[in-house]
């Protein structure tokens, strides 16, 4: 035990001279299995934090006159920290409650193999190293919505181009121009009537499955991945990237994490798309050719990594959840070709087909979704995608836990929004909105309290969001979680607090996401998947069931014979209170 505590301190001393290289020794030890990997993970982060502090001191003292003294003081501080670390295995949350992190979640480090990619040691062993990787079995055939077979009338809107109209309807620019006698395809006027001919579909999409559904969502295995270490180890342009997002400067790791958490999209999938499109994960700055639009969606208002990944995540979500309800039957490629979808793929594969069709012409798209395309980039980073399968992602016998309405007894709130996206417009219609009693509309500070809908641990509390884990393992990627959005910074419950149903979380506001008035937005997820209101798992709160009628923000709440419809108003018939 004495050696285990002294050895990392010796490594920290070497950090005075070797800098980042000394921190990598912790990874070497983890690969050789000389020490407990959870302990090594703590010391690796300690080492990096130490070096960050050194770098800050150098910026403050460019003459280096006091550098050695400060370094020794910092070293002493970290030695003291290591002594206190003996009490780290458990964390007290709430009054007298203790959360013990699952050993299989804490104990993670990538280790090298003889293969072409890094293996993740928590994955189950499904075959021997010399066994060939099996081809995924196509899904049973499903009924898909048909594509249009007749002409349709369309009136040109502001900001339309013939290219965007053609892409929307799955036809070519030339087909629209020919149908309407348009000589100059760059000249349109708002209100102009166009006849859109029916699409001429090309060959169907392949039924080769790219990824399992559990690799699309930010699901259980991601709770075990140290994303920051993975990005830093590849030493590409992303590792040194930074961008201002919503008034704060985020590094590349933080950008990926924020998008993945908000949209509940697998961060490793986002990295694979980014790598395939621009090489940002593994290539140095000198090799990067695209700095502003690394995913490839070239809109001025989507410039920068955050907006590129947000668009990517939203597009993946849109196709994934549409496929779940048989709402996606074809893709439209960037050159206006309508590609009928294969009815024998899964939702995760359909989402990637849809995404790359938005970015590429048909010929390039077919190469990308082939066994020699995008999936090779994925396998080089993580191994075979179906080794990461979690099935079923949503167990057939799953039931929603008991939930209460998210406000205190005796206070009448307004039901302001029926079913809509859990985050942005692409995700499942998993959310409903409530607004507190108020005299004025708009983003007005309000002292009403949002309260916990069930017992559970707060695993995220920032940027207007609170995420409550209901299964007690401390991870939002696993099991049931409740997502509360627009929670004001003032009085917001801190991370790590264990809440009982009815405990106060914070005040409703406009913080986080996009909001035009003070309210709370609530949604459910299970194993990273947004649970739609109209799914086989009804959204029930204190006996009130949210009902989806197919109208965005529409629907109603029902309890027996009582019905409450949503309204951006103060009418009594739109108010609700706890029994």
pLDDT, one tens digit per residue, over 235-282 is: 999 999 999 998 899 999 999 999 999 999 999 999 999 999 999 999
535-to-321, 400, 454, 542 alpha-carbon distances in Å: 11, 11, 20, 18
DSSP class of residue 1 equals -
The residue count of the chain comes to 579
pLDDT, one tens digit per residue, over 111-131 is: 333 333 344 777 777 777 678
| C-alpha dihedral (262, 217, 351, 132), degrees to nearest 10 | 150
Beta bridge partner(s), residue 196: 152
pLDDT, one tens digit per residue, over 183-207 is: 998 899 999 999 999 988 999 999 9
d(CA 569, CA 510): 17
Reading the block at residue 126, the tokens are 């499904």
Q: Is 154 exposed, middle or buried (0-12, 13-18, 19+ CB in 10 A)?
A: middle
Beta bridge partner(s), residue 484: 466, 522
> Token match 């800098």: residue?
19
- CA gyration radius for the chain? 26
Domain 152-196 has CATH 3.10.350.10: yes
CA 396 from centroid of its chain's CA atoms: 24
Helix (H) or strand (E) run with residue 178 in it: helix 173-180
Class in CATH terms, 413-576: mainly beta
pLDDT at 113: 34
| Three-class SS state of 283 | coil
The answer to whether 253 and 228 are in contact (CB under 8 A) is yes
Beta bridge partner(s), residue 193: 155
The answer to whether 230 and 368 are in contact (CB under 8 A) is no
> What global pTM score does this model have?
0.78
Helix (H) or strand (E) run with residue 243 in it: strand 242-245
32-to-28, 113, 118, 337, 383 alpha-carbon distances in Å: 6, 12, 14, 52, 21
Give the count of alpha carbons within 13 A of 78, CB side only: 28
pLDDT at 196: 94
283-to-243, 278, 373 alpha-carbon distances in Å: 19, 9, 18
Mark the ranges of the chain whose per-residue pLDDT is less than 70: 1-119, 129
Helix (H) or strand (E) run with residue 83 in it: helix 67-84
Kindly give, in sequence order, each residue whose CB lies less than 8 Å from that of residue 456, ignoring residues fewer than 6 positions away: 468, 469, 470, 471, 472, 481, 482, 498, 499
The answer to whether 354 and 331 are in contact (CB under 8 A) is yes
């Amino acid at each position: 035990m004495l050696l285990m505590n002294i050895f990392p301190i010796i490594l920290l001393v070497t950090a005075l001279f070797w800098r980042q290289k000394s921190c990598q020794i912790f990874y070497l030890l983890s690969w050789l299995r000389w020490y407990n990997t959870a302990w090594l993970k703590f010391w690796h982060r300690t080492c990096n934090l130490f070096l960050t502090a050194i770098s800050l001191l150098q910026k403050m003292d460019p003459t280096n006159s006091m550098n050695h003294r400060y370094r020794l003081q910092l070293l002493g501080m970290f030695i003291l920290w290591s002594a206190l670390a003996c009490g780290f295995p458990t964390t007290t949350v709430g009054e007298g409650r203790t959360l013990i992190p699952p050993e299989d979640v804490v104990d993670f480090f990538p280790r090298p193999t003889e293969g072409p990619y890094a293996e993740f040691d928590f994955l189950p062993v499904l075959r021997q190293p010399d066994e060939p990787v099996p081809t995924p079995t196509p899904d049973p055939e499903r009924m898909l919505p048909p594509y249009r077979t007749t002409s349709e009338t369309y009136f040109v809107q502001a900001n339309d181009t013939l290219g965007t109209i053609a892409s929307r309807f799955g036809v070519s620019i030339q087909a629209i121009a020919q149908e309407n006698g348009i000589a100059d395809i760059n000249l349109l006027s708002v209100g102009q009537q166009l006849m859109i001919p029916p699409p001429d579909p090309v060959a169907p999409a392949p039924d080769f499955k790219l990824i399992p559904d559990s690799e699309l969502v930010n699901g259980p295995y991601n709770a075990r991945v140290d994303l920051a270490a993975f990005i830093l180890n590849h030493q590409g342009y992303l590792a040194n990237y930074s961008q201002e997002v919503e008034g704060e400067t985020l590094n590349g790791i933080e950008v990926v994490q924020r998008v993945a958490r908000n949209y509940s999209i697998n961060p490793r999938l986002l990295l694979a798309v980014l790598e395939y499109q621009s090489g940002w994960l593994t290539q140095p700055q000198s090799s990067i050719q695209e700095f502003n639009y690394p995913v490839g969606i070239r809109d001025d208002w989507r410039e920068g990594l955050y907006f590129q990944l947000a668009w990517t995540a939203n597009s993946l979500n849109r196709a994934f959840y549409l496929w779940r309800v048989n709402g996606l039957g074809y893709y439209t490629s960037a050159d206006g070709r309508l590609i009928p979808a294969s009815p024998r793929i899964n939702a995760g594969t359909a989402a990637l087909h849809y995404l790359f069709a938005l970015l590429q012409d048909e010929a390039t798209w077919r190469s990308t979704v082939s066994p020699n395309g995008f999936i090779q980039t994925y396998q080089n980073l993580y191994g075979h995608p179906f080794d990461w399968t979690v099935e079923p992602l949503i167990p057939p016998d799953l039931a929603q836990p008991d939930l209460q309405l998210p406000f205190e007894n005796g206070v009448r709130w307004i039901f302001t929004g029926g079913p809509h996206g859990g985050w942005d417009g692409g995700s499942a219609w998993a959310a409903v909105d409530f607004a507190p009693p108020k005299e004025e509309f708009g983003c007005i500070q309000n002292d009403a309290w949002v309260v916990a809908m069930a017992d559970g641990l707060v695993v995220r509390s920032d940027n207007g969001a609170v995420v409550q884990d209901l299964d007690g393992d401390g991870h939002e990627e696993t099991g049931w979680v409740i997502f509360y959005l627009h929670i004001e910074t003032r009085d917001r419950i801190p991370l790590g607090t264990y809440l009982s149903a009815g405990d106060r979380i914070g005040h409703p506001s406009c913080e986080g996401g996009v909001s035009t008035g003070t309210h709370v937005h609530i949604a459910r997820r299970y194993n990273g998947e947004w649970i739609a209101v109209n799914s086989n798992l009804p959204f029930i709160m204190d006996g009130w069931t949210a009902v989806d009628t197919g109208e965005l923000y529409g629907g109603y709440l029902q309890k027996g014979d009582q019905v409450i419809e949503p309204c951006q108003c103060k009418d009594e018939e739109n108010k609700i209170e706890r029994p």
